[in-house]
């Protein structure tokens, strides 16, 4: 595939060349600053939190010899342009959700979330101990990227609606924001699916451009203010049971780093995932209670709706199996999921059921 050569040749002009020239004196002194473009407006709960943790940790771990300069959408490129900007060398790294880029390759969905996929723990089990990181790198070779996971939002909510969903037929004609393969599932159910950047969602929902949307979960959704313009909130969703965030690096930049700086980036990405996920899970319960106090009605989809999600999800996943890389990633992921679940269901999952039965909650 010649995409890598084309992107490098076409984009390494003006701004990229200038950035390299400007960085040279600092690099010559043993210091380096990486420009990180992000998909998140500054201050966005959970998502920009993770990018900020990554920025902070790299500086602290390196003693200042490697630093990150974080750029919000519009400061260098748009929110959904970060993948191509880093692939081409216009920026050094990005912080985003890789499922935004299934147009580049559907396999990227697995490094955020897929319908009926893994929880946050199951995703990292696969990524670090089941071959996922190596597959991320194999896919990244095509696009001149070194993949890193840096954050996880945990299980994402089913979303915000103006009216209750009584059956799967209620999705027919619904203008709904859901990215990734989950969005394609809702498309199978007749929804008009849109992938709108996070910074534009409040306006789209309040203006009626959207009938509903999914974002992250109570902590992030409360800060975004969606409760001001919609009052129906479905707690559990099929589409993102544990959504990974990516801090991927231009492969040429990565290869030029010292082994120490590579290790710092990789370990900072792992620490970011742990810190940000725990922050989110620690705050979602209290945020949900505050949403309910503001008149939000918290519901769950019926079993019939879940069955429709499942049938449509199987169709979407199977449609991508003609791609060899997608097929390899799916096979690896599902094998890891089965292995993890065989123990988790008998231990953590069963324990939580019994704790709720015995103590309530």
72 in any annotated domain: yes
Write phi, then psi, for 194 (nearest 5 degrees): -130, 145
Q: What is the pLDDT of residue 361?
A: 73
State the virtual CA torsion across 322, 326, 331, 333 in degrees, nearest 10: -160
Q: At 295, is the pLDDT very low, low, confident or very high (cuts 50, 70, 90)?
A: very high
Residue 137 lies in a domain: yes
pLDDT at 122: 97
The domain of 68 spans 3-150+242-281
pLDDT, position 306: 98
In a domain, 68, yes or no: yes
- In a domain, residue 289? The reply is no
Domain annotation covers residue 318: no
d(CA 111, CA 99): 7
226, 205 contact by CB (below 8 A):
yes
Per residue in 222-264, pLDDT tens? 999 999 999 999 999 999 999 999 999 999 999 999 999 999 9
Which CATH number do you get for residue 135? 3.40.190.170
The count of structural domains within the chain is 1
Is residue 258 included in any domain, yes or no? yes
The pLDDT tens digits for 157-206 are: 999 999 999 999 999 999 999 999 999 999 999 999 998 999 999 999 99
Q: Is the model's pLDDT at 4 over the cut of 60?
A: no
Asked whether residue 230 is assigned to any structural domain, the reply reads no
* Residue 21 pLDDT: 38
pTM, to two decimals = 0.89
Instruction: Express each pLDDT in 300-351 by its tens digit.
Output: 999 999 999 999 999 999 999 999 999 999 999 999 999 999 999 999 999 9
In a domain, 350, yes or no: no
Quote the CA–CA distance of 304 and 291 in Å, as a whole number. 27
């Amino acid at each position: 595939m010649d995409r890598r050569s084309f992107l490098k040749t076409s984009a390494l002009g003006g701004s990229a060349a200038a950035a390299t020239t400007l960085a040279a004196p600092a690099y010559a002194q043993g210091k380096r600053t990486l420009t990180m473009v992000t998909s998140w407006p500054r201050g966005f709960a959970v998502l920009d939190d993770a990018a900020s943790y990554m920025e902070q940790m790299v500086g602290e771990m390196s003693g200042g010899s490697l630093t990150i300069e974080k750029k919000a959408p519009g400061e260098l490129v748009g929110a959904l342009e970060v993948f191509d900007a880093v692939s081409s060398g216009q920026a050094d790294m990005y912080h985003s959700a890789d499922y935004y880029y299934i147009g580049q390759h559907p396999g990227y969905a697995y490094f955020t979330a897929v319908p009926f996929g893994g929880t946050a723990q199951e995703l990292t089990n696969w990524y670090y101990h089941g071959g996922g990181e190596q597959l991320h790198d194999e896919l990244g070779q095509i696009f001149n990227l070194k993949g890193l996971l840096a954050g996880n939002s945990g299980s994402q909510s089913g979303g915000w609606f103006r009216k209750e969903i009584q059956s799967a037929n209620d999705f027919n004609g619904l203008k709904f924001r859901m990215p990734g393969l989950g969005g394609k599932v809702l498309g199978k159910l007749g929804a008009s699916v849109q992938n709108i950047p996070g910074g534009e969602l409040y306006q789209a929902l309040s203006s009626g451009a959207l009938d509903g949307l999914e974002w992250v979960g109570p902590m992030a959704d409360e800060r975004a203010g969606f409760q001001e313009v919609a009052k129906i909130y479905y707690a559990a969703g099929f589409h993102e049971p544990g959504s990974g965030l990516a801090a991927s690096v231009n492969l040429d930049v990565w290869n030029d780093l010292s082994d120490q700086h590579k290790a710092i980036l990789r370990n900072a990405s792992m620490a970011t995932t742990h810190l940000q996920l725990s922050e989110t899970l620690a705050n979602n319960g209290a945020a949900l209670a505050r949403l309910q106090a503001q008149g939000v009605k918290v519901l769950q989809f019926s079993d019939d709706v879940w069955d429709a999600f499942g049938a449509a999800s199987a169709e979407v996943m199977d449609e991508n199996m003609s791609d060899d890389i997608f097929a390899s990633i799916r096979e690896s992921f599902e094998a890891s999921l089965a292995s993890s679940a065989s123990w988790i269901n008998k231990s953590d999952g069963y324990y939580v059921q019994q704790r709720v039965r015995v103590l309530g909650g």
